[in-house]
Structure 1
């Protein structure tokens, strides 16, 4: 069993996501948790593949309910210039999902924050993050996309949604614009403070060229990526986009510090083998 990273062929979220979670032994680890935060990529109110399909989150919630008694929270802090996180939740179906499954919704843009500090973070030696992240098991459920500034936006970049705009909307209309300056180092600093406990990437379709206005991948990767090592998961995601993770600074610099990118490269290579079990 490779807990770090697994690439699952995509048939449907209902069929493939449980298989991906079982492949990394998620049942055992999730059963022990008290509070679980699902942090989807809802950067704007645009439909998938810009954002995570609500159907993907629904399958994850249903699977979690079978494995754990933990409190499950849907949490995001959108970067949308025009709409609040609550509006984005509503427009993309997450409000209905929360009502259907009795889930708490949290707008991370407005949640109570705590000030943290680290000596090894050159961009953010002090960082404000929502307090609830400290005592929760965080699942970063990202979408496979190229990014206009960060090369890719995957599970580690998805954590930027946790940053409160009252501290990080600086010199731009986007709510997290402070992260755009030296973006790779900023992503790395953020994940030094709080990396995902479980990383998931919807690579069923994917986006090329741009994270908001790009074109769908053609052909689509038809994969889901899951793992307890976000660096490995992001390395595999980068390779699905035809990129070398070593050329993406925030992944390359995280390798060996926050995780093991080679574990993701190995998982990708195994999934691409003609007779790989991951294809069945």
Structure 2
């Protein structure tokens, strides 16, 4: 059986996780599968075109892991989804895209993705049989962000590779199929990967009110100024419509609630890590957690209109663990 058929069969055969006694709404398992995990399809000339992604988890479900211990939070969240083994297969290549765009120290500033959470996820992926796990971002604060954030050290100790993208040969031009964002120089590492996991932090952003998963995808493109020159929110939506992450994990242990994205700012602790396939539903939940309505965030609304995901969290099953 080839890899495409295997993944397709797996998605079709997934059973809904029982939520009895959890006090949450159950809407069932969508089990949607759209071909192979990650990677990009190509035309006859071998050019990169639209990636094909697969949702091996229930796209109508968000898992909220509560607490502060990084290893426990990652393990509980992935287990409630069905296990990392459903997503990461033996020999697969994984790209994790966190947020380390600002040269700030980890933890106390609550501005970059928690490095210990990333390390825990890297270990989970390698234990599942991944041949490599890359942790990448294109930090606008410069290459020092990777080191100062503590992410490079934590990821490499866990067995992964952590590096910045930003050089010309880190990107290749793709046709996104968008109206505003028609073509973009996009990360080669993501296009070549089997699995993409987006791992942003929940925090304030002066231009968009809040930044989470959808906006975090901007760290995979070379010319972000184009987004600002045209329609920032529509470009964000069209980018995620082009390449939806296979899983999004939101670091909502703590984050700044003002003076973002650079900070320093007022720090609020939510002590949650949110897991989900649907990037719109996850950002909608994050907006509510932040004290905003999802409809107040233009890029969330734009992504929902494009069919990227569900903005109404009442239609999403939320399981707390």
Segments of 4+ in structure 1 off by > 4 A?
A: none
State the 1:232 CA deviation.
Answer: 1.2
| In structure 2, C-alpha distance between the alignment counterparts of 1:264 and 1:45, rounded to whole Å | 37
More helix by share: 1
Q: TM-score, normalised by structure 2?
A: 0.73
In structure 2, stretches of 5+ residues that fail to align are: 1-16, 18-28, 30-57
| In structure 2, C-alpha distance between the alignment counterparts of 1:195 and 1:201, rounded to whole Å | 15
State the 1:189 CA deviation.
Answer: 2.1
State the 1:26 CA deviation.
Answer: 4.0
Q: TM-score, normalised by structure 1?
A: 0.83
- Say which of 184, 193, 196 aligns to 2:245: 196
Deviations 1:69-103 (A, max 9, x none): 331111111011xx32xx22222223323442342
Number of the residue aligned with 1:156: 214
- 1:40 maps to 2:98: yes
- 1:72 maps to 2:133: yes
- 1:142 maps to 2:193: no
In structure 1, stretches of 5+ residues that fail to align are: 169-175, 272-277
| In structure 2, C-alpha distance between the alignment counterparts of 1:9 and 1:148, rounded to whole Å | 28
| In structure 1, C-alpha distance between the alignment counterparts of 2:87 and 2:314, rounded to whole Å | 21
Q: CA RMSD in A?
A: 2.1
Deviations 1:171-227 (A, max 9, x none): xxxxx333334221121122122222210111111221232223112xx22111001
Report the secondary structure of 1:45's partner residue: coil
Number of the residue aligned with 2:171: 113
Q: How many residues align?
A: 254
Number of the residue aligned with 1:186: 235
State the 1:261 CA deviation.
Answer: 2.4
| In structure 1, C-alpha distance between the alignment counterparts of 2:303 and 2:201, rounded to whole Å | 20
- Say which of 201, 212, 221 aligns to 2:262: 212
| In structure 2, C-alpha distance between the alignment counterparts of 1:62 and 1:163, rounded to whole Å | 27
- Say which of 215, 221, 225 aligns to 1:177: 225
Q: Contact 2:126 / 2:132 at 8 angstroms: preserved in 1?
A: no
Q: Contact 1:235 / 1:264 at 8 angstroms: preserved in 2?
A: no
